[in-house]
Amino acid sequence: MSNGNADTSPVGQRPITRADLEAKFSQLRGSTTASQSQRNAGLAAVILAGVALVLGAYLLGRLRGRKRRTIVEVVRA
């Protein structure tokens, strides 16, 4: 039967040292850098697609404006 003590550590009876904490944090940080680089690549792709969309819309609008532009000739008499 349990006596209600929650002081049992998963490592055993030895105390948790600074080296144990640093090792675990570096392990966790290593797993997050891979997902972070994937996220950065996805973000770069989204930004690039947005810039391409805006540039394409600008160029198409400029082309359409040139086709519909009226030329006015002023003649002095």
CB 16 within 8 A of CB 9: yes
Q: What is the pLDDT of residues 2-61, one digit of tens each?
A: 555 555 555 568 898 999 999 888 888 776 666 777 778 888 999 999 999 999 999 999
pLDDT value for 68: 74
CB 20 within 8 A of CB 11: yes
Closest of 45, 65, 64 to residue 53, by C-alpha: 45
pLDDT value for 45: 92
pLDDT value for 65: 79
